[in-house]
Amino acid sequence: MSEFRPPVADLTFALEHVVGYDQIAQLPGFEHADHDTVVEILSEAGGFMAEVVAPTNRAGDLEGSRLNADGTVTTPTGFKEAYAAFVEAGWGSVPLPEEFGGGGFPRTIGLALQELEMEANMAFALAPLLTQGAIEALLGYGTDEQKQQWLPKMVSGEWAGTMNLTEPHAGSDVGALTTKAVKRADGTYGITGQKIFITFGDHDLSEQIVHLVLARTPDAPAGTKGISIFIVPKFLVNDDGSLGERNGVHTVGVEHKMGIHGSPTCVLSYEDATGYLVGDENIGMRIMFVMMNSARLSVGTQGLAVAERAYQQSLDYAKERVQGRAIGATESSPIIDFPDVRRMLMTQKAYIAALRRMMLLNAVNVDISTHHPDAATRARADEIVGLLTPICKSFGTDLGNELTSLALQIHGGMGFIEETGVAQHYRDVRIAAIYEGTNGIQAADLIGRKLPVRDGASALEFIASMRELDGELAAAGEEFASIRTQLTAQLDTLEQTTMWMLRTGPTDPNSALSGSSPYLRIWGLVVGGWLMAKSALGARGLDADGIAEAQLPLARFYAEQLLPQAAGLVGAVTAGSHDLFALDADTLADRAPSRARV
Amino acid sequence: MSEFRPPVADLTFALEHVVGYDQIAQLPGFEHADHDTVVEILSEAGGFMAEVVAPTNRAGDLEGSRLNADGTVTTPTGFKEAYAAFVEAGWGSVPLPEEFGGGGFPRTIGLALQELEMEANMAFALAPLLTQGAIEALLGYGTDEQKQQWLPKMVSGEWAGTMNLTEPHAGSDVGALTTKAVKRADGTYGITGQKIFITFGDHDLSEQIVHLVLARTPDAPAGTKGISIFIVPKFLVNDDGSLGERNGVHTVGVEHKMGIHGSPTCVLSYEDATGYLVGDENIGMRIMFVMMNSARLSVGTQGLAVAERAYQQSLDYAKERVQGRAIGATESSPIIDFPDVRRMLMTQKAYIAALRRMMLLNAVNVDISTHHPDAATRARADEIVGLLTPICKSFGTDLGNELTSLALQIHGGMGFIEETGVAQHYRDVRIAAIYEGTNGIQAADLIGRKLPVRDGASALEFIASMRELDGELAAAGEEFASIRTQLTAQLDTLEQTTMWMLRTGPTDPNSALSGSSPYLRIWGLVVGGWLMAKSALGARGLDADGIAEAQLPLARFYAEQLLPQAAGLVGAVTAGSHDLFALDADTLADRAPSRARV
């Protein structure tokens, strides 16, 4: 197992030279979050994650979280101690409001911390991730009293939070949920129903768990318009703030999953559990989207984070493993000297760098959208967040799968042996393309909700803004020529397919949906290429340290060898729905066997 | 878990209408293997695999094969009974010579049987697969006496076989192995050393295991030129053919792997074990290649087979799972009605069909190369086998990973839960891109050994032969127009990149190797597109049963939506090695952190 090296240097480079973090540090309320302070925080956090959290990753996989006979859930060896140290250090509270004990840092920095945490142990990092989602919902929609009651201990991490959406027949279709919420005389609600796939739905890390539960009041409208959201704590809280009796929520199962074994994925049964309404009745979906948009960016970052960890391991292996002779070598060579291994390493590194910049750019826009003094600037940043979020989520997690596969491949036969550890990353990250809205749902969101914003002007303006790099690339000379050529070509691809989507979507939504996933992939490839080009430009004139000198070769590799794939996807985007629906279910199943003919 | 439906109808369609099986049935020795007989055999075999072998797949994953304290290995529940039934039915012997008790059927039919077997249980199917490899080596290089002694019981399956290549520091670099073989006075050899990653290296399925072991005699030349190959049975065999005392080979470990848990991957220790030389000393590599080429085609077929099984499961789920409403639907829809789910199903089905045709075409050429009366025809078929084998292996297994991932994705959150069963396919198939020569090694083989055949003429002639379909496509009318356009365009891509490889390889092998993997992918995409076009043409005029009517939509989907990806890979093929090697190992590891700048 190789040691985890927190990629703090690349994070700080990207913040400073690519995504314009300096604008954030100048926003009102973020004055204390200057670059030097941020570098210090990330360095310290990186050390903490490497020393305290990363060592729990393997035990988490081997032991898993388990449901005991008495209905309690025990997390793997080391999780409890690591979580206590995490709370003690206050890492979860860094991006949360000072009013409730947080550090008042931007979301951008919170996301960078999440990346480091997820690199150390993806399963473990889900506990604070879900807590943060619940906090964001309460910050947005809770009453002052609710905020005072729940937030301080959630912000500190002493109390954990969860998000309870899914039911057996209500997964992607949240509106189909049937959990009931019946109002009582005292203003609280009695919650009854079963929830599945509840991440860290129960555990032994914190004394209290604050569930945010989607449910339906008896007279609620059908579908998503009739969903309300409730705080349902594991333990009722006494007036003095101490924990009282057990609430009517119980863990009836912990799933046996392919990965993230350390994270208990629970089946929770609610039996007239006491719940407190958040906001008004029937606005639950609006509140959920607050949590979900934030969580989608975090999940995209999971793809990147697990890929980074696996990449590091594959790099270490490639340097150490001696096997055969490279061209021109007179002795046995480490496999890093073989071109195809280099291709796998560079592919990982270039995509990881692109993804990191994409996630941070999204987060920077989150911060602008919430903290910029100018309303128009906030509104535009909010549009950009809306546009980038499905791309970050899907492209990040698809690549999470593909890149961990490359890391495994570099290990040869050892990659398939569990003791090596790289297989865990491949298994762990696989869920990220599914949860928080499957990647197909992200693609539908991109074309169905985000492209239509201002009749397409929002997306087209973003494309135009990417084209603005062209002058700088032209002036940057011969070394940037192929980057410029490819970026222009694939921006054209993106624009053409965007125009096709804008034309097709309103009249033939099935055709637009048919091309939505490859279309999202084109966006990911192009935004990544643009950010890598920015990165190479940003590195000019800096001392040629490791990060700075890597940017031009990475950007060129990306532009010449990865970015052109976008053009290869145009056919899949624009083919329409006809052939996708040409075969009926029986034919898809070969139900009518060919008769033998001689 | 969905029921396994053996894809016999598509296999027989492909044999009859796409890959020209009729030529094989006319070859001397294969007269009894006519189409009707083959249909009957495959139908019966499909039933057997579905009823007897498939039910063992899940227990195989859950229990795994295990090493007992006494050094024996126990396979999972049901494996022993299924193997006994397999031997009783004689399925393993179908493509083996009648002289030793086989059915004397072509390799093509043997491969179709292997596909069905691997669909039922990939881990289980490895036992007969390895036995067949050992048989092929003995058929090619054993003495008559050796053949009489070992083959009848191996052909029947009563005795199993293995291939012992890998050692801890000799994986891809077989020539680095150090296992010693010291000749004794009686002509036998004493074999001493340790072998790892030995598939079915020990088990309880058969009374005897015949290991074929690569080892080095004391005076052997270094590297691959000094390797010899030995029969090393688990039990010595008495003169009367009964089993005698235990030979000096012992199992010291069974690996804990990510998948194919049912297949015991053994560490074997040889301590002066008695071995019998096969062929001459120092020709071991030549014999190994006999086994390996055959095994590589079988492993490519594994990618296809596991993908087929996962596809079936995802199709069943997509039909049953009701969630949300499709465009225009007034009630909840099964998810098969959603375009993005359709895309995932069609992508699986089209690639699987293309792969099946590619594997069978390869096998047809194996049969021509061994059985055709005309020497020139045999020689050309042998060239085609050489060319197609690395493509079948790599493209088949890369797609095995990608397609099982799509099958898992269709299941949403349920795909990540092990009880659903689809995750097993994703884990199982992952090894196939690694063993029998990693996919990177296949790509190196393609450009380093196969392209140079007759200075490129062999490959270019194959490309030209694919172009011969153009006239038929042109005459087939409007429905085939997009297939024709795309096939021509991507044949151009293939030809251009081939010319680049032929120019570059001799002078700059590192640059050629740098592009070898994406180049192989182009081959796979194009050969697949060509075969699907042939398939659509072959289906014309047939009764519109399920298989026949599916071919045109599948071919068009492939041509319009999958095949164009080839063009997107040209940059990666022709970029050269410069950027791949631009970053040194420290820079790849971000060892020199960026200094903080404000």
Residue B309 has pLDDT above 90, yes or no: yes
For B583, which residue in chain A has the nearest alpha carbon?
Answer: A550
So what's the pLDDT on residue B251? Answer: 97
B517 occurs within a structural domain: yes
- pLDDT tens-place string over residues B411-463: 999 999 999 999 999 999 999 999 999 999 999 999 999 999 999 999 999 99
Residues of A in contact with B588 (CB under 8 A): 315, 345, 349, 550
How large is the angle between the packed helices B516-539 and A339-371, nearest 10 degrees?
90
- Contact (CB<8Å) B596/A12: yes
The pairing of strands B208-215 and B159-164 is: parallel
Token code pair at residue A119: 């690199």
Most B CBs within 10 A among A119, A343, A510, hence the mutation to make, goes to A343
Across the range A69-95, mean pLDDT stands at 97
Q: CA-CA distance, B462 to B531, in Å (whole number)?
A: 13
Sequence-separated (6 or more) residues with CB below 8 Å from residue B2: B312, B313, B316, B317
So what's the pLDDT on residue B258? Answer: 98
**CB-CB: which of B196, B416, B509 is closest to A430?**
B416
- pLDDT tens-place string over residues B142-165: 999 999 999 999 999 999 999 999
**How many angstroms away from the CA of A346 is the closest CA of chain B?**
6
Q: CA-CA distance, B21 to A529, in Å (whole number)?
A: 47
Token code pair at residue A479: 């070394």
Residues of B in contact with A5 (CB under 8 A): 589-590
Tokens 């929609």 correspond to A141
Across the range A222-245, mean pLDDT stands at 96
Sign for the CA dihedral angle at A218, A220, A221, A224 comes to negative
Q: CA-CA distance, A520 to A320, in Å (whole number)?
A: 38
So what's the pLDDT on residue B292? Answer: 85
Q: For residue B1, what pLDDT band results from cuts at 50, 70 and 90?
A: low
A534 occurs within a structural domain: yes
This complex has an ipTM of: 0.97
Residue B73 has pLDDT above 50, yes or no: yes
For B238-253, give the DSSP string. Answer: -TTS-EEEEPSEEEEE
Tokens 């990147």 correspond to A304
Residue B121: how many other CB atoms lie within 10 Å: 31
**CB-CB: which of A413, A431, A566 is closest to B568?**
A566
Sequence-separated (6 or more) residues with CB below 8 Å from residue B489: B564, B567
Residue A1 has pLDDT above 70, yes or no: no
Across the range A223-247, mean pLDDT stands at 96
B527 occurs within a structural domain: yes
Residues of B in contact with A560 (CB under 8 A): 571-572, 575, 579
Across the range A3-20, mean pLDDT stands at 96
When divided into structural domains, chain A yields a total of 1
Q: Say yes or no: B529 contacts chain A, CB-CB below 8 A.
A: no
So what's the pLDDT on residue B200? Answer: 98
DSSP type of residue A174: G
Token code pair at residue A118: 């997820």
B456 occurs within a structural domain: yes
For A453-468, give the DSSP string. Answer: GGGGHHHHHHHHHHHT
B598 occurs within a structural domain: no
Residue B597 has pLDDT above 50, yes or no: no
Q: Which residue type occupies A595?
A: R
- Contact (CB<8Å) B341/A567: no
Across the range A197-204, mean pLDDT stands at 98
A515 occurs within a structural domain: yes
Token code pair at residue A204: 């032994």
Across the range A513-529, mean pLDDT stands at 98
For A309, which residue in chain B has the nearest alpha carbon?
Answer: B589
Residue A594 has pLDDT above 70, yes or no: no
Residues of A in contact with B554 (CB under 8 A): 583
Across the range A320-338, mean pLDDT stands at 93
Across the range A284-312, mean pLDDT stands at 94
- Contact (CB<8Å) B560/A575: yes
**CB-CB: which of A36, A343, A592 is closest to B517?**
A343
Across the range B60-76, mean pLDDT stands at 97
Sequence-separated (6 or more) residues with CB below 8 Å from residue B272: B190, B191, B192, B248
Catalytically active residues of B are 436
Residue A471: how many other CB atoms lie within 10 Å: 10
Residues of B in contact with A580 (CB under 8 A): 339, 342-343, 346, 557
Question: Which of B350, B304, B567, B569 has the alpha carbon at shortest distance from B443?
Answer: B569
Q: For residue B590, what pLDDT band results from cuts at 50, 70 and 90?
A: confident
- Contact (CB<8Å) A423/B171: no
Is residue B427 classed as helix, strand or coil in its secondary structure?
A: helix
Q: Say yes or no: A312 contacts chain B, CB-CB below 8 A.
A: yes
Q: For residue B536, what pLDDT band results from cuts at 50, 70 and 90?
A: very high
Residue A198 has pLDDT above 80, yes or no: yes
| Predicted TM-score of the model (pTM) | 0.97
Residue A591 has pLDDT above 80, yes or no: no
**A159 has which bridge partners?**
A208
- pLDDT tens-place string over residues B272-290: 999 999 999 999 999 988 8
Residue B594 has pLDDT above 90, yes or no: no
So what's the pLDDT on residue A292? Answer: 85
- pLDDT tens-place string over residues A18-36: 999 999 999 999 999 999 9
Tokens 């190797």 correspond to B513
So what's the pLDDT on residue B541? Answer: 87
- pLDDT tens-place string over residues A103-121: 999 999 999 999 999 999 9
Distance, C-alpha A257 to centroid of its chain: 19
Q: Say yes or no: A58 contacts chain B, CB-CB below 8 A.
A: no
Q: CA-CA distance, B147 to B137, in Å (whole number)?
A: 10
Is residue B543 classed as helix, strand or coil in its secondary structure?
A: coil
Which range of residues forms the domain containing residue B460? 452-578
Residue B112 has pLDDT above 90, yes or no: yes
Q: Say yes or no: B427 contacts chain A, CB-CB below 8 A.
A: yes
**CB-CB: which of B416, B565, B583 is closest to A431?**
B416
Going from the C-alpha of B466 to that of each of A56, A343, B214, the distances in angstroms are 55, 30, 39
Residue B592 has pLDDT above 80, yes or no: no
- pLDDT tens-place string over residues A118-130: 999 999 999 999 9
So what's the pLDDT on residue A291? Answer: 81
For A561, which residue in chain B has the nearest alpha carbon?
Answer: B572
Tokens 């009931």 correspond to A180
Contact present, B18 and B538 (Cβ < 8 Å): yes
- Contact (CB<8Å) B9/A345: no
Residue A290 has pLDDT above 90, yes or no: no
A192 occurs within a structural domain: no
**How many angstroms away from the CA of B237 is the closest CA of chain A?**
33
B498 occurs within a structural domain: yes
Token code pair at residue B106: 């072509």
- Contact (CB<8Å) B550/A583: yes
Token code pair at residue A43: 């360095």
DSSP type of residue A257: B
So what's the pLDDT on residue A289? Answer: 85
Q: Say yes or no: A34 contacts chain B, CB-CB below 8 A.
A: yes
Q: Is A136 annotated as catalytic?
A: no
